[in-house]
Amino acid sequence: MAPAADREGYWGPTTSTLDWCEENYAVTWYIAEFWNTVSNLIMIIPPIFGAIQSVRDGLEKRYVASYLALTVVGMGSWCFHMTLKYEMQLLDELPMIYSCCIFVYCMFECFKMKNSVNYHLLFILVLFSLIVTTVYLKVKEPIFHQVMYGMLVFTLVLRSIYIVTWVYPWLRGLGYTSLGIFLLGFLLWNIDNIFCDSLRNFRKKMPPIIGVATQFHAWWHILTGLGSYLHILFSLYTRTLYLKYRPKVKFLFGIWPVILFEPLRKH
């Protein structure tokens, strides 16, 4: 976490319960943590295109919701890191819980009839979200949020491992790439928290371009944004395989992965 002695800017005093390692208002007076803010673009823009493509392809609404939920997380995180206000912190952290619940629903409904609805699972996830929201608003303890989020991510990891081990082994590349990128982001998140003072001192001595490269919380956004996007692709690939489609991962401009597919033709 950041040391207490940070400058103020356009948004006034910090009211959030967390203040990250990036120096506040160091780049511009209008954005508290500049790199932690703009790094959220990877969570905002690509999922919007994913949601539009999902609608065009006539996919189940839960996959549109998955993409849009990731966009909402990115927008909330943008507002939080731009302002360091408590209300904006909630716009970041609570959608993280809600989006993961949508991901969990998708992963556990991969092998059901098309457009089926599991009301029992929906009820459990909605109840979980309400309990986490109520408790977090009352206790305002970031560790509680982090543990609840970690539980959801762990559930997704176990389900993914089950699928690539027992159902579709040829999806290991996509599944483990998503997981590996996410875990790398988590590693950098911890380094940023634990070694903040050392990182700040290092940045003071280094050219700005090297200093930017050590903004590890921004890298957490980039890597977990990409990892979450790849997880949606993995979930969608699993689902469309089960529905007898022909999914393929293509790379736009040679770099950005998307899923293209067509229904299996009837003879």
Residues annotated as binding site? 19-20, 22, 24, 33, 81, 217, 221
How does 105-122 read in b/e, with b if 16+ C-beta sit within 10 Å?
bbbebbeeeeeeeeeeee
Reduce the DSSP state of residue 260 to 3 states and report it.
Answer: strand
Query: 3 CB contacts (<8 Å, ≥6 apart)?
Result: 196, 197, 200
Query: 178 CB contacts (<8 Å, ≥6 apart)?
Result: 160, 227, 228, 230, 231, 233, 234
Give me the tens of pLDDT residue by residue for the chain, a chain 267 residues long. 554 446 788 999 999 998 999 999 999 999 999 999 999 999 999 999 999 999 998 899 999 999 999 999 999 999 999 999 999 999 999 999 999 999 999 999 999 999 899 999 999 999 999 999 999 999 999 999 999 999 999 999 999 999 999 999 999 999 999 999 999 999 999 999 999 999 999 998 888 888 899 999 999 999 999 999 999 999 999 999 999 888 888 888 778 888 887 655 554
Give the residue carrying structure tokens 């699928």. 163
CB neighbours (10 Å) of residue 17?
13
Question: What pLDDT was estimated at residue 47?
Answer: 97
Q: Where are the domains of the chain?
A: 34-261
- CATH code for 34-261? 1.20.1070
Give the residue carrying structure tokens 């919701």. 65
C-alpha to C-alpha distance for 226 and 144, rounded to whole angstroms: 25
Question: What pLDDT was estimated at residue 103?
Answer: 98
Question: What pLDDT was estimated at residue 253?
Answer: 77
Residues annotated as binding site for Zn(2+)? 81, 217, 221
Question: What pLDDT was estimated at residue 8?
Answer: 80
Residues annotated as binding site for Ca(2+)? 19-20, 22, 24, 33
